[in-house]
Amino acid sequence: MVDSYEPARQRNGFASRSAMETPHATSIPFNRPHSSEHELDYLAEAIGQGRTAGDGPFTRRASQLLKELTGAGCVLLTTSCTDALEMSAVLLDIQPGDEVIMPSFTFMSAANAFVLRGGVPVFVDCRADTLNLDERLVEGAITARTRAIVVVHYGGVGCEMEAITGLAERYGLALIEDNAHGLGGSYRGRPLGSFGCMATQSFHETKNIQCGEGGALLVNDTELLARAEVIREKGTDRSRFFRGQVDKYRWIDVGSSYLLSDVLAALLTSQLESFDKIQARRQAIWHRYHGELADWAAENGVSQPMVPDGCMQPAHLYYLLLPDMRNRQALIGHLAEEGVQATFHYQPLHTAPAGVRYGRVAAGGCPVSEQIAERLIRLPLFAGLAEMDVARVIEAVRAFEVS
Ligand SMILES: *Cc1c(COP(=O)(O)O)cnc(C)c1O
């Protein structure tokens, strides 16, 4: 089996459309999970090896590949990025009332992880250019109860890590990177995921590298490592037992079941081995959108992504910012009619029902996050998107006039 860079219509149930039908008989999905070279062989091997639980040979292979990619001190595969974030909250010993600073414009998993420990998310606005946590607003949100800062590198474009790591150090706060978008990206030559005491990755089917559902906790502070292994294994020292370091395993701490199955680690290994190929294809699509939509964007008052000098972005998503919500909705509708599935993104957490109940918003509110959420549209971007389909997306976008 070869890497499926061409849309695998047969396998996805779009077969048997005749060429006589309308030109848009086949629609272009927003995402299709990548299927890589050796995955079926690896799956067969994982199932045949006599053990399917975690911490097996494929877990070690995938962890090693991730370590090389991220420069992380240690990589622990988990059942999801959400679970890795939960592990980070347990590892930091978050107590009821402890505050954690995070962007409002992000996925709810970062907030949930701390709320589950009784923590209070403090939502800070994002920058209008990169859509990342606005580092200039962080210091004003720090109180005597603040324990940690969570950053999210939106679209894999690094946050202003120099300013943020400086603040974390000055105030003695833990820094966690939710690096779900940022695998393979870097900031001033240093891999994303290597700045925080911990970082989290996602291998959900919507991410560049995927195994259906999966994640990883990158542990850069080695003092956290022993306890991280225990928390991932239901609060037991089972990992040490398997290494022959203790003669029985016991319940020694709080924990849960956060270890990825070796079957999914087999899928993940095959994806990670295709990393360069997947990334090359995603980068080509990202840059084609960026170049070929530039004139249209300028003429229509639409903003394209901004990547600051010193940031290498891993082509996780391609977005456009329309002038307002009405035009954004109209463009989504127009593209749907053209057979192109495009979509909006995060709804700000500080206005979400659970965000209001469990968190608080930093002084000044999050006006930029509220605006961005209404104006942003994401275009289809996946390694299997064929050149002719990229052209179709571009043509369909260009046919839309902002009013
Ligand atoms: C996808 C994503 C998550 C959640 O990942 P799961 O592996 O599905 O738990 C968390 N944070 C961000 C920024 C994400 O994009």
Q: How far is the CA of 278 from the centre of ligand 1 (A)?
A: 19
Alpha-carbon gap, residue 27 to 300, rounded angstroms: 25
Contact 316, 182 (CB under 8 A): yes
The CB of 156 under 6 Å from ligand 1? The reply is: no
Q: What is the DSSP string of 24-35?
A: TSS-B-S-----
The CB of 88 under 6 Å from ligand 1? The reply is: no
- How many residues are there in the chain? 403
Q: How far is CA 74 from CA 241, 246, 344, in A?
A: 19, 21, 34
Amino acid 8: pLDDT:
38
Amino acid 24: pLDDT:
54
Amino acid 7: pLDDT:
39
234 given a catalytic annotation: no
Neighbouring-strand partners of residue 318? 379
Instruction: Supply 160's token pair.
Output: 């202003």
Alpha-carbon gap, residue 96 to 266, rounded angstroms: 38
Alpha-carbon gap, residue 200 to 179, rounded angstroms: 5
Catalytic residue (choose from 207, 234, 248, 277): 207
161: three-class secondary structure by DSSP: helix
Q: Which atom of ligand 1 is nearest to the CA of 215?
A: 7
Alpha-carbon gap, residue 14 to 10, rounded angstroms: 6
Amino acid 25: pLDDT:
55
Alpha-carbon gap, residue 215 to 196, rounded angstroms: 17
Amino acid 5: pLDDT:
40
**What's the one-letter identity of residue 79?**
T
* Residue-level pLDDT, tens digit, the chain, 403 residues: 344 443 333 333 333 344 444 455 589 999 999 998 899 999 999 999 999 999 999 999 999 999 999 999 899 999 999 999 999 999 999 999 999 999 999 999 999 999 999 999 999 999 999 999 999 999 999 999 999 999 999 999 999 999 999 999 999 999 999 999 999 999 999 999 999 999 999 999 999 999 999 999 999 999 999 999 999 999 999 989 988 999 999 999 999 999 999 999 999 999 999 999 999 999 999 999 999 999 999 999 999 999 999 999 999 999 999 999 999 999 999 999 999 999 999 999 999 999 999 999 999 999 999 999 999 999 999 999 999 999 999 999 999 999 9
The CB of 208 under 6 Å from ligand 1? The reply is: no
The CB of 35 under 6 Å from ligand 1? The reply is: no
Amino acid 366: pLDDT:
98
Q: Which atom of ligand 1 is nearest to the CA of 207?
A: 1
Dihedral sign, CA of 165, 167, 169, 174?
Answer: negative
CB atoms inside a 10 Å sphere around CB 194: 18
Using the CB atoms, write b or e for 93-125: b if 16+ within 10 Å: ebeeebbbbbbbbbbbbbbbbbbebebbbbbbb
Closest CA to 303 of 279, 290, 321: 321
Q: How far is the CA of 107 from the centre of ligand 1 (A)?
A: 7
The CB of 109 under 6 Å from ligand 1? The reply is: yes
Q: Which domains does the chain have, with CATH numbers?
A: 19-32+275-398 (3.90.1150.10), 39-273 (3.40.640.10)
The CB of 113 under 6 Å from ligand 1? The reply is: no
Q: How far is the CA of 403 from the centre of ligand 1 (A)?
A: 34
Q: How far is the CA of 221 from the centre of ligand 1 (A)?
A: 22
The CB of 79 under 6 Å from ligand 1? The reply is: no
Q: How far is the CA of 185 from the centre of ligand 1 (A)?
A: 16
76: three-class secondary structure by DSSP: strand
Give the distance between the most distant pair of CA atoms in the chain: 71
Q: Which atom of ligand 1 is nearest to the CA of 154?
A: 13
- The position carrying tokens 């070869």 is 2
Which of the listed residues 79, 82, 106, 381 should we mutate to test ligand 1's pocket, taking the one with most ligand atoms within 8 A of CB?
Answer: 82
Neighbouring-strand partners of residue 311? 187
Q: What is the DSSP string of 87-130?
A: HHHHHTT--TT-EEEEESSS-THHHHHHHTTT-EEEEE-B-TTT
Quote the Cα angle for 208-209-212, to 5°.
Answer: 110
CB atoms inside a 10 Å sphere around CB 144: 5
Neighbouring-strand partners of residue 321? 303, 376
Specify whether the backbone of 182 is left (phi greater than 0), alpha (psi in -120 to 50) or beta.
alpha
Q: How far is the CA of 154 from the centre of ligand 1 (A)?
A: 11
The CB of 107 under 6 Å from ligand 1? The reply is: yes
Dihedral angle, C-alpha 249, 254, 258, 259, nearest 10 °: -20
Contact 318, 294 (CB under 8 A): no
The alpha carbon of 356 is separated from its chain's Cα centroid by a whole number of angstroms, namely: 24
